[in-house]
Amino acid sequence: MNELAYDIAIIGGGPAGTTCALALKNSGLKVVILEKATFPRDKVCGDAIPGLAVKTLRQISPQYAEKLAALPEKHLTKRTRFWLNDKRKVELTWVNPAYTCKRIDFDQQLFEWTKAERSIEVYENCNVQHLAYEADGVTVKCANQLVFHVKW
């Protein structure tokens, strides 16, 4: 069986996985994302994109924060209200930009930005079934019969 070789494998192509891959795009490392689903796919979520997420994307590259700000499917969130009990209300006013966006739309955008990077490879329908830890890395076997050897 041929093994595909990478320096780093990221299991999961959601916001955490794609953001991690984007942060590594200029590292010189050979990065792969292994995603069990096919995009676009939806996940249950509160649909909030907090200011820290926007700040993180901006730190990786200002173009990602600009692209996020330009997405038509999102709404700017300036404050959040919630009640601790029947009488006590808390209101937070956001200093940094924060958004509300359907998870399917946000995840799809991050996934597309990641796939557009030449230094990152993405495999969809790659449900990880087994990890074998070895002296020189990890062998990752997916349900679709693909096998990856990863240093990290």
With contact defined as beta carbons under 8 Å apart, do 113 and 63 qualify?
Answer: no
Query: What was the pLDDT predicted at 95?
Result: 87
CA–CA separation, 75 vs 99, rounded Å? 5
Residues facing 80 on adjacent strands: 92
Please provide residue 37's backbone torsions phi and psi, each rounded to the nearest 5 degrees: -100, 180
Model confidence at 114, pLDDT cuts 50, 70, 90, reads very high
Q: Which pTM does this prediction carry?
A: 0.87
Query: What was the pLDDT predicted at 135?
Result: 93
What percent of the chain shows pLDDT beyond 70? 99
Query: What was the pLDDT predicted at 87?
Result: 84
CA–CA separation, 7 vs 60, rounded Å? 20
Roughly how many angstroms between the first and final C-alpha of the chain, as a whole number?
Answer: 21
The one-letter amino acid code at 53 reads A
DSSP state of 113: H
Query: What was the pLDDT predicted at 1?
Result: 56
Domains (range + CATH), the chain:
1-44+103-152 (3.50.50.60), 48-101 (no CATH)
Query: Pairing state of beta strands 31-34 and 120-123?
Result: parallel
With contact defined as beta carbons under 8 Å apart, do 142 and 46 qualify?
Answer: no
Average pLDDT over every residue of 91-107? 90
CA angle 16, 18, 20 (to 5 degrees): 65
58 C-beta neighbours (distance < 10 Å), count = 17
Summary mean pLDDT of the chain: 92
pLDDT per residue as tens digits for the range 8-65: 999 999 999 999 999 999 999 999 999 999 999 988 888 989 999 999 999 999 999 9
CA–CA separation, 84 vs 67, rounded Å? 35
